[in-house]
Amino acid sequence: MSSLFKLVNYLNFMGLEQGSPHRRWNGRRFAAGLGRACAGALLFALPMFMTMEMWELGFYMDRTRLLLLLLVNIPLLLILSDRVGFEETMTWRDAGRDAAVAYAVGIVTSFLILTVTGVLDFEQSAFEVIGKIAVQAVPASIGALLGRSQLNGDDDNHDENDDDPIQNGPTDYAGELFLMSVGALFLGLNVAPTEEVILLSYKMTPLHVLAAIVLSLVVMHAFVYAVSFKGGHEIGDDVPAWHIIVRFTLPGYVIALLVSAYTLWTFQRFDDMSVGQMLSTTIVLALPSSIGAAAARLIL
């Protein structure tokens, strides 16, 4: 009961005018912030809500791996909330509250969509229902926090804030790498549960695998760093190209590989595979994940 009371209080806080010394209630601000969170959850997770493999994961997925995924999602949401959450946060406590609300929005959204589409029904066991909601709540909660950046939400004044991390992105190297990991998840989670990843890895020869690695690196570098997209890194005349490759492109691809490998392991896609086949499957998934990592500041 106390946790519910704290959550309600925080939802009230979301609707308060930040610029007011008395923090007057602003119902429009609250509704807009909560609406962006729900819309972000749908935008991020709707493809997975409609994917049969994700439904099946909720039933047979190893509960230890599922629990680990839920626990890993907590610090991810906490850091993401501090950097690009649906509300500007001043302290880690505020970021924690945003993360808790995002998780709650992810759970509720998952329950509603899965119920409306008939994936959940009253004849299923609690074990199956909880598993299906839990596995879907992870991407949905991430999407809830990304609602502000995805939908270009801002305060009621609609003024450009030069200090807003949504507008300018992180300036520190660790922040860049973190956003890359979220971008890799953004695209990788949509593909990882599908059978096509496994099928492609069996069809590919070593030459195909090598070509996939080269293509991933080339696309990563060209997508943001060589092409002057908004939010990207332009290569100045005084900066050697190899510096950008070593500092951003190669670490970004390593992050995409690690995120892909962890996602595949969590979803039990590595079961009964040889080491070589695991590596091949990881490289296949790293192709979309690497694009998501390179485009992190564009899509997040």
pLDDT at 148 (0 to 100)? 61
Residues 16, 158 within the same domain: yes
Residues 151, 215 within the same domain: no
Alpha-carbon separation of residue 64 from 34, 99, 202, 232, 263 (angstroms): 32, 22, 28, 39, 14
- 113 vs 9: which has the higher pLDDT: 113
pLDDT tens digits, 91-141 = 778 778 888 888 999 999 999 999 999 899 888 888 889 999 999 999 899
pLDDT band at 167 (very low <50, low <70, confident <90, very high): very low
Residues 193, 116 within the same domain: no
Across 157-175, average pLDDT: 51
Q: How many domains does the chain have?
A: 2
Token pair recorded at residue 178: 């973190």
What does DSSP assign to residue 89?
-
* The last residue of a domain, from among 112, 139, 168: 168
Q: Is residue 174 part of a domain?
A: no
> Among the ranges 1-5, 185-189, 293-297, which has the highest mean pLDDT value?
185-189
Q: Is the per-residue pLDDT at 263 higher than 70?
A: yes
pLDDT tens digits, 195-250 = 899 999 999 999 999 999 999 999 888 876 655 444 455 555 566 666 777 888 89
Q: Is residue 176 part of a domain?
A: no
Q: Is residue 177 part of a domain?
A: no
Residues 189, 147 within the same domain: no
Residues 23, 138 within the same domain: yes
Q: Is residue 173 part of a domain?
A: no
Residues 164, 248 within the same domain: no
* The last residue of a domain, from among 107, 141, 168: 168
Domain interval for residue 64:
2-168
pLDDT at 158 (0 to 100)? 45
Which is nearest to 73 in space by CA: 185, 205, 225? 185
Contact 73, 141 (CB under 8 A): yes
Residues 69, 127 within the same domain: yes
Residues 20, 160 within the same domain: yes
